[in-house]
Structure 1
Amino acid sequence: MLEYVKTILQKVSFSRYLFERELKKGLRYLMPSEIEEFRDWCYEMFGRLYLPILNRYFRPAY
């Protein structure tokens, strides 16, 4: 499921609204063990473009 959610986010990354909606949905589908890897990937791929959205849905990693 992790790879599926990543694919969807890449396809909708042109739209802030769609990106946020799909990120929220994707987090519901993932297992807790996948969330950390997904968070890291999201910040690496979309951190410059959608940092405020990512910060809203992920706790900062300390």
Structure 2
Amino acid sequence: VAEEALRSGEERYRELFENANDVIFLHDLKGVVVAINRAAEYLTGYTRNEVIGIALMT
């Protein structure tokens, strides 16, 4: 039951992240991009593969 609830929560989070109209960049503590959503791809014109791994903060 707990694992099912966890999976359900993760799925809802993924859907919210991907379908948000707002631009979302996720980065690690060093400022390296680890994920972006569709809105970020659309607004920047870059694919997530082009952006993931780039350091935003130096």
- Flag the structure with higher strand content: 2
- Flag the structure with higher helix content: 1
TM above 0.5, yes or no, is no
